[in-house]
């Protein structure tokens, strides 16, 4: 099996070049926890890139199998890559559950075929694999445990992924990926190809069919954000403080969801982003609130 190019990179290098919203909270962690989270993030990043950046499905499957084997090697104490060694240390030091990372690999593998989800429950099962499982894997590193912490990770992961899906409707549709539940498409009268921006002008009008669809995605994400916030409030203060990186990420994505709400159904204006200065300000607000 040919090793992917990322196999020679350090977790820190992979994280640094990603520019992801997920990283802004890492800098506020103690070094040992930051290193462990960076290894988890890098593993999830290279697994995702195996599908998105490969030359074709066969190469993607081979790369996923490489990382699946490297995860098993990390558990066995014999990893071959810097990412694997980082995972080995995270598992040994913090008790990270490798089964959660295997869920991530399985979830990402679903993207090798054009996705089709009949209803919201099916879409949320996908969101669990590619997002909630990541959060659940990170909980031991963040020092949070128990049913409320798991509920927080589960609900926040789904909120983040649904927000991503809403943001990337046009870009995904242009690649043949339509994550929106099929029963929602039918109910809103939206043809899948319209999501790429190639539909009639009326489709993107205020209160038009695409906006109705976007409103449903918005509401689903907002419901998960609310459930995550409720679970967070049930946690003891120490656990809430440990979850500062996740809380910063939640604040950034909640702001992104508000911006997407203002976009409405007009998918032809380019990607919606949260400015870097606003991300930093949200981090400051979360840090200030974490003292309570």
Torsions phi, psi of 145, nearest 5?
-150, 165
The CATH architecture of the domain made up of 148-292 is: Orthogonal Bundle (1.10)
Residue 88: is its pLDDT beyond 80? yes
**Rounded distance, CA 64 to CA 5, Å?**
13
In angstroms, the CA 274 to CA 89 distance is: 33
What whole-number distance in Å separates Cα of residue 141 and Cα of residue 232? 17
User: Apex CA 126: angle with CA 158 and CA 58, to 5°?
Assistant: 135
The torsion angles phi and psi of 3, rounded to 5 degrees, stand at -70, 140
pLDDT-derived band at 292 (thresholds 50, 70, 90) equals: very low
For the chain, the structural domain boundaries read 8-113, 148-292
* Superfamily of the domain at 8-113: Farnesyl Diphosphate Synthase (1.10.600.10)
Residue 206, Cβ density class (10 Å: 0-12 exposed, 13-18 middle, ≥19 buried): exposed
Q: What is the Cα–Cα distance from 53 to 245, expressed in whole angstroms?
A: 27
The answer to whether the 8-113 and 148-292 domains have the same CATH topology is yes
Q: What is this structure's pTM? A: 0.94
| Residue 44 pLDDT exceeds 80 | yes
**Whole-number Å distance between alpha carbons of 41 and 86:** 10
Kindly report the CA angle at 36 between 109 and 245, in degrees rounded to 5?
90
Q: What gap in Å lies between CA 86 and CA 71, rounded to an integer? A: 10
Sequence-separated (6 or more) residues with CB below 8 Å from residue 155 = 132, 224, 225, 227, 228, 231
Residue bearing the bigger pLDDT, 129 or 1:
129
Over residues 214-270, the pLDDT tens digits come to 999 999 999 999 999 999 999 999 999 999 999 999 999 999 999 999 999 999 988
- On the question of pLDDT at 28 being above 80, the answer is no
> DSSP code of 54?
S
Phi first, then psi: give them for residue 256, nearest 5 degrees. -60, -40
Structure tokens at 250: 């939640």
φ, ψ for residue 43, nearest 5 deg: -60, -50
165 to 46, 52, 134: CA distances (angstroms): 20, 15, 17
- Exposed/middle/buried for residue 253 (C-beta within 10 Å: 0-12, 13-18, 19+): buried
Across the chain, mean pLDDT equals 93
Higher-confidence residue: 290 or 107? 107
Model confidence over 161-202: pLDDT tens digits?
Answer: 999 999 999 999 998 899 999 999 999 999 999 999 999 999
């Amino acid at each position: 099996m040919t090793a992917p190019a990322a196999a020679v990179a350090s977790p820190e290098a992979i994280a640094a070049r990603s520019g992801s919203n997920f990283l802004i909270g890492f800098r506020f962690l103690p070094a040992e926890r930051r290193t462990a989270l960076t290894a988890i993030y890098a593993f999830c990043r290279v697994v995702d890139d195996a599908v998105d950046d490969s030359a074709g499905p066969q190469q993607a499957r081979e790369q996923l199998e490489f990382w699946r084997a490297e995860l098993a090697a990390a558990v066995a104490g014999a990893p071959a890559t810097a990412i694997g060694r980082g995972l080995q240390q995270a598992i040994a030091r913090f008790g990270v559950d490798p089964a959660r990372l295997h869920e991530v690999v399985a979830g990402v593998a679903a993207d090798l075929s054009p996705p089709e989800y009949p209803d919201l429950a099916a879409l949320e099962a996908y969101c669990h694999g590619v997002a909630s499982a990541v959060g659940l894997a990170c909980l031991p590193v963040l020092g949070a445990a128990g049913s409320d912490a798991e509920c927080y990770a589960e609900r926040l992961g789904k909120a983040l992924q649904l927000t991503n899906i809403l943001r990337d409707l046009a870009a995904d549709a242009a690649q043949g990926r339509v994550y929106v539940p099929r029963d929602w498409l039918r109910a809103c009268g939206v043809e899948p190809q319209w999501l790429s921006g190639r539909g009639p002008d009326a489709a993107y009008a205020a209160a038009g069919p695409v906006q109705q669809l976007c409103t449903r995605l918005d509401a689903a994400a907002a419901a998960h954000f609310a459930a995550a916030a409720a679970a967070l409030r049930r946690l003891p203060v120490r656990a809430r403080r440990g979850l500062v990186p996740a809380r910063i990420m939640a604040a950034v994505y909640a702001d992104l969801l508000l911006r997407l709400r203002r976009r409405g159904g007009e998918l032809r204006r380019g990607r919606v982003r949260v400015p870097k200065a606003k991300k930093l300000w949200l981090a400051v607000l979360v840090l200030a609130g974490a003292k309570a």
